Amino acid sequence: MPITISQDEIEKVTQLRLVVDAYREAHRLIHSVHWHKGVPEEHTPPLIELKKALVELGYDEKTVLQDAFADSELLNIHELGYTDKADFRAGASKTEKIALKEKWH
């Protein structure tokens, strides 16, 4: 049965993308300076904040990253006009497969 995405779910994925983008920016800033002794430890606070924010959006703490990225991929597939992964695999053209790889991930 095809999966449909509600407006609430679209908003949730939009919010998760903003949270992940903020984490990516924090990670970029950590690496924007020369490596120093504290760099490994500096990764922990942004990752904790990322996971906390995603849990607040309703993701399960144990599978937060996998579930969040799966939801985002499903939205990408919907944006290309397909109902789910199986529908996409069965009908996507080479151009659409390339387009999927170029979408937010």
* Residue range 7-28: mean pLDDT, rounded: 95
Percent with pLDDT over 70 in the chain: 97
More confident residue, 105 or 41: 41
Residues ≥6 apart with Cβ < 8 Å to 54? 16, 19, 64, 65, 68
Instruction: List the chain domain ranges.
Output: 7-102
Q: Are 71 and 12 in contact, with CB atoms under 8 Å apart? A: yes
Residues ≥6 apart with Cβ < 8 Å to 78? 5
H helix and E strand count, the chain: 6, 0
